[in-house]
Amino acid sequence: MSLIPRSARHSDRPDYDEILEEIRREIHPHLSRGHVDDRIPALADLRPDGFGLALRTVDGALHQTGDAVEEFSIQSISKVFSLTLALQLEGDALWDRVGRAPSSSPFNSLAQLEHDRGIPQNPFVNAGAIILVDTILGHRGDGSDAILEFARSVTGNDNIRYNPKVTRSELEHSHRNAALAHLLRDFGNLHSEVDTVLEAYSRYCSLEMSCADLTQAVQYLAQGGLNPLTGDVVLTASLTKRTNALLLTSGVYGAAGDFAYRVGLPAKSGIAGGIVAIMPGMWCAAVWSPRLNRTSNSYAGTLALERLTTVTGTSVF
């Protein structure tokens, strides 16, 4: 008898439908844990006990359970697409303006940016993502729908849209992001006007997608940088590897260490409760559950991904 659990042997493909369904049942009692974000009032429209989970293998097979086709604003998951575009447009010069260190403060910390003299710790904290948006605007111009175009091209879904109510709500309550942008500008690390960059940043965060869409959207990160729908190079293999490294070290902010221990995958979270996770060469998963833990990551979503990698015996380690 093999000592390796059946599900961990790569030769026989796990029954993902059954595994996802089992995880949904296991997670159900935990759906009341945590709190829906209240910094963006429009997020109060989310169903607090919603839960969706999807997994798409590199050969394109989609497995899903719960509310996996329900759309939500992807919030900071959009920073994965912003980073990809900024790297395409700017290459290594991007790293003159933003660091690659793990986050040691909350994702919207002003004190950290002041301490680091206007160089955000990494591209996934808000100040870092504001630099990404500034880079995109610098190359593509104001009012550019670069992210929308990108999301549609990697998903093949032309129905993907921004949620204007979420954009507006976020903009009306963007004092902290405005403060970060002003501080960046004061340090000479922001080229666009603050209002222009904030508008684009808020729009990007309001992009609405489902878990099923997201597993397709980040598929290039599991496939060496290729868009599996078109065969186009989205990122070089080297930049794909490096993007996954950044997702592992800072994709879930201050929780990165705990998340690496429990889940063991590159991942990116958003405050509407979505998380994407990448198992390079095998699959991408996306989970959504709006109640957040103390590190602003989905409570049940983190738990579900922990179960997924445990039950399937897969992780990057």
57 or 75: CB nearest ligand GLN: 75
Binding residue (CB under 6 A) for ligand GLN from 46, 171, 194, 271: 271
Binding ligand GLN (rule: CB under 6 A), the pick from 71, 90, 170, 199 is 170
> Of 34, 270, 290, 301, which one interacts with ligand GLN (CB under 6 A)?
270
The smaller minimum CB distance to ligand GLN, of residues 108 and 155, is found at 108
Does 177 bind ligand GLN (CB under 6 A)? Our answer is yes
Looking at the chain, how many residues does it have?
317
Sites for ligand GLN among residues 93-112 (CB under 6 A):
107-108
Name which of residues 180 to 209 contact ligand GLN (CB under 6 A).
205
Taking the complex as a whole, how short is the minimal distance between the CB of residue 301 and ligand GLN, in angstroms?
A: 12
Question: Residue 65 or 122: which CB sits closer to ligand GLN?
Answer: 122
- Residue 19 or 287 with smaller CB distance to ligand GLN: 287
Per-residue binding string, ligand GLN, 218-257, x by CB under 6 A, is ----------------------------------------
Residue of 79, 76, 25, 78 lying closest to 300 (CA atoms): 25
- Cα 128-280-221 angle, rounded to 5 deg: 45
Pick one of 76, 227, 250, 295: the residue that binds ligand GLN (CB under 6 A).
Answer: 76
What is the SS3 assignment for the chain? CCCCCHHHCCCCCCCHHHHHHHHHHHHHHHCCCCECCCCCHHHHHCCCCCCEEEEEECCCCEEEEECCCCCEECHHHHHHHHHHHHHHHHHHHHHHCCCCCCCCCCCCCHHHHHHCCCCCCCCCCHHHHHHHHHHHHHHHCCCCCHHHHHHHHHHCCCCCEECHHHHHHHHHCCHHHHHHHHHHHHCCCCCCCHHHHHHHHHHHHCEEECHHHHHHHCHHHCCCCECCCCCCECCCHHHHHHHHHHHHHHCCHHHHHHHHHHCCCCEEECCCCEEEEEECCCEEEEEECCCECCCCCEHHHHHHHHHHHHHHCCCCC
Residue 12 or 38: the one with the smaller Cβ distance to ligand GLN is 38
Q: How far is the CB of 74 from ligand GLN (least distance, A)?
A: 8
Tell me how far, at minimum, the Cβ of 269 lies from ligand GLN, in Å: 7
CB of 18 to ligand GLN, least distance (A): 31
Residues in region 276-315 near ligand GLN by CB under 6 A: 296
Binding positions for ligand GLN, rule: CB under 6 A: 75-76, 107-108, 126, 170, 177, 205, 270-271, 296
